[in-house]
Amino acid sequence: MKKIIAVLAAIMMFASVAAACGVSDPLNTTEASTTQESTQEETQPQVDKEDYSDTFEDLCKYMTDMTYVSGEPKEMTAELIGATEGKKYSFNYGSGTVTAEFYVFDLDNLNETAEKTISDVKETGKFKIGNLPETEAVLSDNGKYLMVYRDTAYDAANAESQNTIRYNEVMKEFKSFGK
């Protein structure tokens, strides 16, 4: 009995340490960690975009206030794409799991990695890091922000689905932020 308790305690300790460390691929956009159920009402919150400044903090606040993202964001290794800062949200919406990553670039001090990422996204809507698969992304109209948005229930062929409608709203609002 003591051996069983010791083994269970060791397993629990290992699991809690692994979870606390959060070791994962820094740009793994398919991971849906720390999911949180979205409690979206049918009506959109009354938010005035003019109340937000053109900052990364306000971009994330705006997207949260609009209920386009929810949950506690994780800091991302933004330097891998040449960005100065990045955050990732993982949550459930409608019938899908959503991950939304936001990054900000210092347009006055772009390094080679940032220039390549921005150029690739402008040309193809995707960027690549090393041996990782290409990642679909979109830039804001001002070119300062990049978003990676994945929704497992998004279906481009079904424009009437709740998740597809939401996807299109998020794209529109993100692109126009910071004008």
- In the block, tokens 């830039």 appear at 139
Q: Is residue 94 part of a domain?
A: yes
Rounded Cα distance between 148 and 136, Å, is 6
Q: What average pLDDT does the chain have?
A: 82
Q: Is residue 54 part of a domain?
A: yes
Q: Is residue 16 part of a domain?
A: no
pLDDT for 47: 84
pLDDT for 123: 97
Q: Which residues of 117-155 are buried (b: 16+ CB within 10 A; e: fewer)?
A: bbebbeeeeebebeeeeebebebbeeebbbbbbbbebbe
Q: Is residue 43 part of a domain?
A: yes
R_g of the chain computed on alpha carbons: 18
Q: Is residue 17 part of a domain?
A: no
Q: Is residue 122 part of a domain?
A: yes
Residue 158 pLDDT > 70:
yes
Q: Is residue 20 part of a domain?
A: no
pLDDT, tens digit, for every residue of 34-86?
Answer: 434 444 445 667 888 889 999 999 999 999 999 999 999 999 999 999 999 99
Rounded Cα distance between 135 and 49, Å, is 28
Number of domains comprising the chain: 1
Q: What is the extent of the structural domain holding 150?
A: 26-176
Residue 30 pLDDT > 70:
no
Q: Is residue 1 part of a domain?
A: no
